[in-house]
Homo-oligomer: A and B are copies of this chain.
Amino acid sequence: MNLLKGNAIVGQSGGPTAAINATLSGVIRGAFECPAIDTIFGAINGVEGMLKGTICNLNEVFADEKDLKTLENTPAAALGSCRKKLPSPASTEEKDVAVFEALFAFFKKNNIRYFFYIGGNDSMDTVAKLSAYAPKVDYEMRFMGVPKTIDNDVAGTDHTPGYGSAAKYIAASMQEIIRDTAVYTVKAVTIVEIMGRDAGWLTAAAALPAKVCGVAPDLVYLPERIFNFDEFYEDIEKAFEKHPNVVVAVSEGVRLADGRYVCEAVSDSGLDAFGHKMLSGTGKALEIAVKNKLGCKVRSIELNILQRCASHVASLTDLKESVMIGKASVRAAARGTTGKMMCFRRVSDNPYRVKAVSEDIQKIANVVRAVPAEFINERGNGITDAGIDFILPLIKGENRPEYRDGLPVHFVIKA
C-alpha cells in the first residue's frame, strides 16, 4: 500500500438533496479517522470555490463531533453547490489548459492529495476529467466521486444516496394526497407531477403505498414509455369504474411518440399578459387536457423542490448509507484508489443489505440509468411488484431529527 500523506478537499455539486450532507458528514468522519489525512478542507460552491480559493477548514468547523449529526439532518448542500462543467482534459486550447493548471496549482499550494466530489452525473464528469488530466501533472493525487442524486439515474450503482429520502417523501405525500382526495363523492381527477426528465425512478416511488397500506395512485406514467393521450383518457375512465377519486402520478419528462414533451403539446398557444409563451408544467398540461376531454373536476399538484429537500421525513436507511458511502470513499482513496466512483452493491434482498464498492468513473459519467422494463407494467401505467420490492427497502426507517420550538434543527457552515 502506497501511504500518501497530505490534506483533503471535499466539494458538493449539482442539485440539493436531503442526504448530500449526510454523505459530506461521512467523508469528514472518514478523514478524521484516516491517519494519512491531516486537514480536510471544504470547497465553497464546488469546483468554483477551488478556482477562487474560497475554502473552509472542516476540522475546525466540526471540532465538536455532535455537529456532524446535525449536519446529517440538514437538507440541501452545506458547502454550497455549482454547475460548472470542466473542459476536456485532452484540449490544448489555452483557456482550457488554464483551468486545470489553476486547479492543480491550488491543490499543490494547499498540499491537497485527496479530492472528494459529491454529486450527480455532471459531478462525476468533473471527477473523471480531473483524474484523466492528473497524469500530465507531476503531483500525486487521488480523485474520488461520491454519487448523490434524487433522480437515481447514475449508472454502476444499485441506487444513489438521496433517492431513498426523496422516494419516502413522495410515497408519504402520495398516501396523504390520496386520503385527502377520497373525502368527497364528486368525480375528480388529481394529477401529481413528480421530478424526473429522463428517468422515472422518483415517479415509480409514488406506487409504494400500494404494498404498505393498500392505497396507491390509480395510474403511474414514467418517461421510459411513450405517453399516449387516448390511452390516458381510457385509463381514467376505467379507474372511475372503481371509485370517484382518480389519482395520477406522472413524471415531468413524459413525451409523445413524436418526441415532444406532453407540456409542449398542450400549452403551446398560451401567452401571458406580456405576450410571452407560457409553458406550463406536465401536471398542469394534463389537468387542462383532462378538463377539456372529460369535463370533470381536475386538480394538478407539482411536488417541486420539496421532494429533494424534505429532510424532516428523510429515510433513515438513506441517511445511514449516505454516511457509510462517504466514509468508504475516504478509506478507498487511502488504500490507493483513484478515478473511481463509490457505488452500492446489493448483496442481499432479505434482509436487505448493501456494501460500498468502487467502479471506474470513466464508464459511469454521463450515462443515464433508466427504470428497467420489468419494473413497469405492460400497459405502461403502473409499477410491477418487482419494482416496488426493489425500491421499498430504500425508504425504510425514520430519522427523527432534533426539533427546537417545533422546527427541525439544521447546521449551517459559515464560510
Which chain B residues border A334 with CB–CB below 8 Å? none
For A316, the closest partner residue in chain B by CB is B406
For A308, the closest partner residue in chain B by CB is B180
Q: Number of A residues contacting the other chain (C-beta, 8 Å)?
A: 75
Tell whether A197 is near chain B: CB-to-CB under 8 Å.
no
Partner of A397, one of B12, B317, B406: B406
For window 218-270 of A, CB contacts with B under 8 Å fall at: 265-270
Partner of A269, one of B209, B271, B292, B404: B271
Which chain B residues border A16 with CB–CB below 8 Å? 179-180, 183
A408 touches B274 (CB 8 A): no
Given the interface contacts A177-B309, A183-B16, A409-B213, does A267 sit within 8 Å of B276 by beta carbon?
no
Partner of A265, one of B48, B179, B273, B400: B273
Q: How many copies does the complex hold?
A: 2
The stretch among A2-10, A22-30, A128-136, A166-174 that forms the contact with chain B is A166-174
A306 touches B177 (CB 8 A): yes
B75 touches A312 (CB 8 A): no
Residue among A48, A276, A292, A312 having the largest count of chain B Cβ atoms under 10 Å: A312
Which chain B residues border A398 with CB–CB below 8 Å? 400, 403, 406
Q: Give the docked Cα–Cα distance between A269 and B275 (Å).
A: 8
Q: Give the docked Cα–Cα distance between A212 and B406 (Å).
A: 8
Tell whether A92 is near chain B: CB-to-CB under 8 Å.
no
B302 touches A302 (CB 8 A): yes
Which chain B residues border A302 with CB–CB below 8 Å? 301-302, 304
Q: Give the docked Cα–Cα distance between A16 and B183 (Å).
A: 7
> Nearest-CB distance from A213 to chain B (Å)?
6
> Nearest-CB distance from A27 to chain B (Å)?
17
Q: Give the docked Cα–Cα distance between A181 and B276 (Å).
A: 25
For A83, the closest partner residue in chain B by CB is B184
Partner of A310, one of B176, B208, B267: B176
Q: Give the docked Cα–Cα distance between A172 and B269 (Å).
A: 38
A406 touches B395 (CB 8 A): yes
Given the interface contacts A75-B179, A82-B184, A292-B276, does A405 sit within 8 Å of B396 by beta carbon?
yes
Partner of A74, one of B177, B179, B292: B179
Given the interface contacts A177-B309, A183-B77, A213-B407, does A273 sit within 8 Å of B278 by beta carbon?
no
Which chain B residues border A310 with CB–CB below 8 Å? 173, 176
Q: Give the docked Cα–Cα distance between A406 and B313 (Å).
A: 10
Residue among A175, A272, A280, A306 having the largest count of chain B Cβ atoms under 10 Å: A272
A175 touches B408 (CB 8 A): yes
> Nearest-CB distance from A362 to chain B (Å)?
27
B270 touches A266 (CB 8 A): no
> Nearest-CB distance from A391 to chain B (Å)?
10
B272 touches A180 (CB 8 A): no
Tell whether A410 is near chain B: CB-to-CB under 8 Å.
yes
A266 touches B271 (CB 8 A): no
Which chain B residues border A278 with CB–CB below 8 Å? 267, 270, 278, 280, 288
> Nearest-CB distance from A59 to chain B (Å)?
23
B400 touches A185 (CB 8 A): no
Q: Give the docked Cα–Cα distance between A408 and B181 (Å).
A: 17
Partner of A313, one of B175, B267, B313: B313
Which chain B residues border A45 with CB–CB below 8 Å? 183-185
Partner of A406, one of B168, B274, B404: B168
For A293, the closest partner residue in chain B by CB is B274
Tell whether A358 is near chain B: CB-to-CB under 8 Å.
no
B280 touches A273 (CB 8 A): no
For A208, the closest partner residue in chain B by CB is B407
> Nearest-CB distance from A72 to chain B (Å)?
14
CB-defined A-B contacts under 8 Å, sample of 6 = A80-B182, A171-B407, A175-B407, A209-B407, A270-B273, A396-B406
Apart from A179-B309, A211-B405: 8 A-B pairs, beta carbons within 8 A: A75-B179, A172-B312, A176-B312, A177-B306, A177-B309, A274-B292, A278-B278, A398-B400
